[in-house]
Amino acid sequence: MKRELDYTGVNPVVMLCRNALPLTKDAVRSVMEQDIPTMLWAVDNDSQDGTTEWLESFCPNTTTFRPALGVSAGWNFALTSIFRHCDHALVINNDVVLRSDTYQSLLEDGGDFVTAVSVDSIEGIRGDWRKAPRPHPDFSCFLIRKNVWEKVGAFDESMKLYASDGDYHLRMHKAGIEAYTIGVPFFHYASGTLKSAMPGEQSAIQGQADKDRFTFEKKWGVRVGSDQYYKLFGHGAPDAKS
């Protein structure tokens, strides 16, 4: 039985994990090095490479699911619990590295749903950065407030691994909630879960991704990430650096 956690004075971080132990360690280290107090809530999706054991020895609030819940259900599980105690949460992948000022910068912006923006090199997160809000949220590192959760609801679990982020963005837009990146960079080892998949898993992940994209298109009438998708927000697609 897990001990009751004390949320006083801390800022919760949700991190979904599935294998990729070396990347997970780097992500956790960057969470621990934030300028403000943090509490990590790890959701382990049936890792098979030692990630589960390492998390359970390091993070007092790790929940492992066998079989894996998937992304949407994993986010829902953690955020439902956190929002019973806190009014905001930072949600990250386990294949990212944050600047030490990431969490504080997102909080200080004051937006209801604000994100950092991914870059493809660790050097890209060093040095000064300039705040540059853009209407293209990055769901690999996002700050969500409780009022958004209460107004928009949970992530759509009919999309298990992919596309539920685009679905949530559209639902926020329809609810009148502005979602955007403020421009603070984070390093993202893109597709870390897919690249770290155990033998035979990659095809299953890619197959589920195709199903999720089909589910999204059936729901909204457009393909996620297409020009028609971005037109639903009244602006164009992000450039290559977004």
Q: What is the pLDDT of residues 171-182, one digit of tens each?
A: 999 999 999 999
For residue 22, CA distances in Å to 70, 133, 196 come to 21, 32, 10
Pairing status of strand 11-17 against strand 88-92:
parallel
What value does the mean pLDDT of the chain take?
A: 91
Helix (H, G, I), strand (E, B) or coil at 45: strand
- pLDDT number for residue 128: 95
Question: What is the C-alpha radius of gyration for the chain, rounded to an integer number of angstroms?
Answer: 17
- pLDDT number for residue 234: 86
pLDDT at position 8 over 80 = no
The proportion of the chain whose per-residue pLDDT surpasses 70, expressed as a percent, equals 90
pLDDT at position 242 over 60 = no
- pLDDT number for residue 154: 98
Residue 108's pLDDT band, with cuts at 50, 70 and 90, is very high
Q: Which two tokens mark 181?
A: 């990146």
- pLDDT number for residue 11: 96
- pLDDT number for residue 193: 59
- pLDDT number for residue 96: 97
Are the CB atoms for 213 and 145 separated by under 8 Å?
no
Residue 183 CA from chain centroid, whole number: 16
Q: Which two tokens mark 156?
A: 């759509």
Are the CB atoms for 122 and 189 separated by under 8 Å?
no
Residue 5's pLDDT band, with cuts at 50, 70 and 90, is low
pLDDT at position 187 over 50 = yes
What are the beta bridge partners of residue 43?
A: 16, 63
- pLDDT number for residue 139: 97
Domains in the chain (CATH in brackets) are 11-231 (3.90.550.10)
Tell me the pTM: 0.91
Question: Rounded to 10 degrees, what is the CA torsion of 215, 216, 221, 222?
Answer: -130
